[in-house]
Amino acid sequence: MPGANLTRIEAGERKAVVSAPIHYWVSLDLTVGAEDFASTTKVTFDAQAGASTFLDLIADQVTEVVLNGEALDPAAAFTDSRIELNNLKDHNEVVVKAMCQYSNTGEGLHRSVDPADGNVYLYSQFEVPDARRVYAVFDQPDLKAVFDFDVTAPESWIVLSNQPAHTVESVDGMTLDDTLGDHPAECIKRWVFEPTVTMSSYLTAICAGPYAQWHTEYENEDGRVVPMGQYCRQSLAEAFAKDVDYLFDITKKGFAFYAKTWGIPYPYAKYDQIYVPEYNAGAMENIGLVTIRDQYVFDSKVTDALSERRVVTVLHELAHMWFGDYVTMKWWNDLWLNESFAEFTSTLATAEATDWPDAWATFCSGEKSWALNQDQLPTTHPIVAPINDLNDTYVNFDGITYAKGASVLKQLVAYVGRERFFDGIHRYLTRHAFANATLDDLLNELEATSGRDMKAWSALWLEQAGINTIAADVEENADGTIASLTLTQSAPAEHPVLRPHRLAVGFYNEDPATGRIVRTDRIELDVDGETTVVTEAAGKPRPAFILVNDDDLTYTKLRFDAASLEFAVENLYRFDNALARAVIWLALWDMTRDAELPAERFIETTLKLLAHEAESTTFRYALSCMGTTAHHYVAPARREDVLRHVAAELWTLANAAEAGSDNQFQLVNAYLGYGEEGDAEFAANVRGLLDGTVTLDGLDIDNDMRWALVKALASVNQIDEAGIDTELAKRDTTANREFAMGARASRSTAEAKEWAWNEAIRNQELTNMQLEAVARGFAGATPELADPYVERYFAEADWIWTNRTFHMAEALLEGLWPVYADPAKLVEQGDAWLASHAEADNAFRRIVIGNLESARRSLKVRDWNAAL
């Protein structure tokens, strides 16, 4: 659908024709059937007289188009996902009636049937431009409008939108047949919602179904009482009820923190949070109706890292009510104005206003490591990225826009000072309330409050791609004091930009009383240009360890002086500060990826860290990166021995961990990923945990752990398809169907991988979550099973991109990448594919290039380790 890929030029041309006031009246009938729903849109707007433009609409059928009282031929007016509007007047009215389609991909209006009880749940997801899958609309962020929604649905349902319902009334003489899966002859109702504030179309929302509900209120800082709601599926209600009060409390703390920090109270009429099934994102900041994936409803034990991530997600979406909703970017090149600010401020709020004070360590290990990875790919881009069309936008929901942007904002706060920074933000939000803004608008306000040259800062930090490296060099006097401490900044050849940094240098030594490594001194300074001498360090005793970028104030790669590096590798687990450990660990991981630290040494450092680490996200990422190192970076001749060694150490650590602890839980789950066919000890341990003959004190074999064990057995061919089906029959739920599909795809046989490959690509009945589960199971193929799919991957890529929606194509192209295949073969065939696809869509090429670069790095790093 070429017309569905709106270009920036087209959006600008339409903006030049269409002007405010723009007002939509949208009527949706959700009682038509299980495949489609009826959509009627009336939109009024001003325009240049005599000009032409178009409405966006993705629909099965358009039955009526009326422009300024004149009926148009739908077959002629509606083509290529657009409704052409010609010979416009100064004031215009368009009416469009259509039949639109429910999705099972999380795009548009998603329809999910819960196998636990047969209930039907609907929810919308309109970012980037999928409001057009539900109603006719000028679907671009700078054509803000007022929206009036009304929805017809079964009377037993709850229907929600951005605004409170104005009226809910029965529809006389109408009943619902059984096509929706509900009870036949049920009466229907119509929900009519209050008009919205002026807002962008991608932030509108509709959710409907028999959701369980909880309510409270918040006394807003402007004196209003804000109604609050939480919702989830009925089958998850018992589990969710345990957390509702806590999540309401987190949200209220967020209201208070943001109102105080920005000087602007929450600006909308209500605040609902609805946890929805089969979501293709983490959450979405719809005004007054935030949708959140219901994997955040915990009915089994989860890691503390995931519990904290839920808090950050709740506060991230709440931050969007100001950044993105209250003030919205004009075009998607300023997406970072939404996402970077929400990521930065949600971490700040988590650290300062909740019971997760180590949130910045979490951010460093999780989000910042994501940024460093993506910023070193050939596909890296400036934070303020060039966005030529919507496909470019899709692939920019990435580690640069979110994590690098947030890291750079943390650096900006250090650079200008916190008070001046937030004064500028207050001015920015106030000046552009309910409107659209650009980077320049923000910089003007920050420049006014800080006195710094923000445009010069932006040119280096926001408008140039790539990451710097800051290396420390120490010269010592004969008495053990520091003669000089020099910081040298460098940049990659492809992005030769040196940046100004405000950072801290920490000195760390052993505390004799505790044996822990603690900070004994700290120097904060500006670093600019290639070389900076830390003058304050001269004459001070040389510490055991010198941490450049203490407190993680700036965004950079780090290289320690030789003595500090050796100390960190041997003693990382002894550092008493969670953020310091995270910063050091991330630097060691970066060195490992850059073939500067031997892979096996990194693994041993990580194993020692895992015996002591208390910060859950650092623990989680340490496990993950150790796994990548063991599978892909160690010398090929050592790979099998190293994998067996890591597996044995993880099992030992799990048995030694505190009963019922987060560490124990993570260690067991990590161990389950190291199974090899024929490993009798692994099979016996997993089978024993499943049947109860092997126990670890405090480890609960709940639903999700049980499925993790089943999948582990499947990966070593110790359970067949019938056994997996038997497990599913015990409790048939949405999540367990996904687990079962993933387990089946994980079986280490050619037949299982063939099934998974074809099911993922060809079965369009799979939901987005089922597809991802199958792809994950497939991706665990051993090298022998993965190698045949290298050629098939590149043969199928074009069909996938052409025939699937963006989100599903992305899930397939990333999820089915045969990551365990021979990297040399991947690089050879990947380079040939790129050479033959020079004119392919930029977003398509970026996905493939990102995959290919992981293989290229694996090849480089493993060969370096083999040569040691």
Three-state DSSP string of 192-249: EECCCCCECHHHCCEEEECCEEEEEEEECCCCCEEEEEEEECHHHHHHHHCCHHHHHH
- How many CB atoms within 10 Å of residue 698? 12
Q: Dihedrals φ, ψ of 577, to 5°?
A: -105, 125
Q: Please, is 323 exposed, middle or buried when counting C-beta atoms within 10 Å of its C-beta (0-12, 13-18, 19+)? A: buried
Rounded to whole angstroms, how far apart are CA atoms 85 and 64?
Answer: 13
CA gyration radius, the chain: 28
Secondary element (H or E) of residue 510: strand 501-510
Query: Do 667 and 610 meet the contact criterion of CB atoms below 8 Å apart?
Result: yes
- How many CB atoms within 10 Å of residue 274? 25
Secondary element (H or E) of residue 509: strand 501-510
Residue 757 to residues 335, 739, 779, Cα–Cα distance (Å): 34, 17, 10
With tokens 């503390």, the residue in question is: 304
| Residues, the chain | 868
Residues ≥6 apart with Cβ < 8 Å to 97: 38, 39, 40, 41, 62, 63, 64, 65
Q: What is the DSSP string of 674-742?
A: G--TT-HHHHHHHHHHHHTSS--TT----HHHHHHHHHHHHHTT-S-HHHHHHHHHHS--HHHHHHHHH
Residue 448 to residues 435, 462, 687, Cα–Cα distance (Å): 21, 19, 65
Catalytic site includes residue 796: no
Q: What is the DSSP string of 543-573?
A: PSEEEETGGG-S--EEE--HHHHHHHHHHGG
With tokens 């009334």, the residue in question is: 169
Residue 327 to residues 261, 262, 315, 364, 433, Cα–Cα distance (Å): 16, 13, 17, 28, 6
Token digits for 245?
């009060």
In which order are the strands placed within the sheet that holds 557-559?
A: 531-533, 482-490, 469-476, 557-559
- 479: Cα within 13 Å, side-chain hemisphere: 6
Rounded to whole angstroms, how far apart are CA atoms 153 and 230?
Answer: 20
Buried b (16+ CB within 10 A) or exposed e, 795-825: ebbeebbeebbbbbbbbbbbbbbbbbbbbeb
Q: Considering only CA atoms, which of 449, 428, 124 is closest in space to residue 289? A: 124
Selected catalytic residue, list 107, 278, 285, 317:
317
Rounded to whole angstroms, how far apart are CA atoms 814 and 829?
Answer: 16
Helix-strand-coil split of the chain, %, nearest 5: 45, 25, 30
User: For residue 168, is the peptide bond before it cis, meaning its omega torsion is within 30 degrees of 0?
Assistant: no
Alpha helices in 33-180 (DSSP H): 74-77
Rounded to whole angstroms, how far apart are CA atoms 385 and 463?
Answer: 7
Query: Do 672 and 686 meet the contact criterion of CB atoms below 8 Å apart?
Result: yes
Q: Dihedrals φ, ψ of 205, to 5°?
A: -160, 150
Query: Do 392 and 332 meet the contact criterion of CB atoms below 8 Å apart?
Result: yes
Query: Do 585 and 558 meet the contact criterion of CB atoms below 8 Å apart?
Result: no
Q: Considering only CA atoms, which of 541, 593, 594, 545 is closest in space to residue 566? A: 545
Rounded to whole angstroms, how far apart are CA atoms 206 and 194?
Answer: 13
Active site residues: 317
